[in-house]
Structure 1
Amino acid sequence: MPNVKVLPLLEPTVEPCCPPLTERPLTAEEAERTALMFKALGDPVRLRLFSAVASHEGGEACVCDISDVGVSQPTVSHHLKKLKEAGLLTSERRGTWVYYRVEPGVLAAMGQLLSPTAAEV
């Protein structure tokens, strides 16, 4: 029987799409992925929703707890859908409510993208 090494299962994380912007020019594919993320966050309502989820106690928020952003419930749902499509949020339905979490690793990936290279620090 061959030697088989069993690796522990790791929690899924978002791989950083790109090196820091100051390290090298982005490829076309990297720019597309990054633009999708920033475009999703470029709307003030979406940014508020993302912030509400990210800062909510326990790291997740029920849509019922974060929908007071000055727009209708269908509009909140639309914005949350856009944040999910951009890979920024995940969701889980529990009964009649949907709970949102920031996609694991996404804040670190954004931080890495915007951080200066070691030579600039």
Structure 2
Amino acid sequence: MASRPATLALVATGGFLGAMARYGVALLGPGLAGTFLANVTGCLALGYVFYTAAATERISPETRLFVATGFLSSYTTYSTFALQTTEASPAWGVLNVLGNYACGFVAVVLGRRLALGEWR
């Protein structure tokens, strides 16, 4: 495992890059669509990284810190999701909540299946 300063640098660098990627997604798809895309693709990536790291040695602890704790924590956005949901009409708000959670859970499962080679 990396030293404390190295760990902080990994998380900070990953966080910076994740925030920049999130901004890019917001430019491509502003509003609910961009947030949905970031959250679902982030869930897919997190499922893949977590289960790859847990089941194999293909992802080091340092890479997991950089990607999962740093990049993906900045890339996905619960606070924006919550704010946009409260600003949407009631019907869109309900659809946004259901869509983000349903698709997010499915994306994590797909990430796990990709990581573990569970395609049958």
- Same structural fold, with TM-score higher than 0.5 when normalized by the shorter chain: no
Higher strand share: 1
TM-score (norm 1): 0.30
Q: Between Structure 1 and Structure 2, whose CA radius of gyration is higher?
A: 1
Relative to its length, the structure with more helix (as a share) is 2
